[in-house]
Structure 1
């Protein structure tokens, strides 16, 4: 039981980060197999790259002041502190 008013002021709403704003700050690390060479022979080698998230993937956003945490619909957690 809380006596706290559940309505938000316009200032509170403006300070909340939207999913679109949050995905601009975080990236998903993806490992893909590309053609390369291992010991002089052609082979598939792993290469990592950073891929942007889309706003439709976002389940929740938490702005901690120093960093932003984004949780996706599939349960993965990303932070801009990781970069």
Structure 2
């Protein structure tokens, strides 16, 4: 479920970037409606960037704890087997 949200956020982020680049390098600044959409896209791009980072960090910390415990158990097994020999 989280992976689908990340894909959706990235697609919306790319769409926002298209509007911003169109405003800077294209003719979007000449039409009032495209200028308004670009302003909204700029704010949305900032929000989506923050949201994507929050989701990726939550996923990274969630999986980090599981791998850390797995490695710790593995080290304990290898340490105890060394002490017995």
TM-score (norm 1): 0.27
Looking at secondary structure, tell me which structure has more strand per residue: 1
**Highest RCO, 1 vs 2 (Cα 8 Å, sep ≥ 6):** 2
Looking at secondary structure, tell me which structure has more helix per residue: 2
Select the structure of larger CA radius of gyration. 2
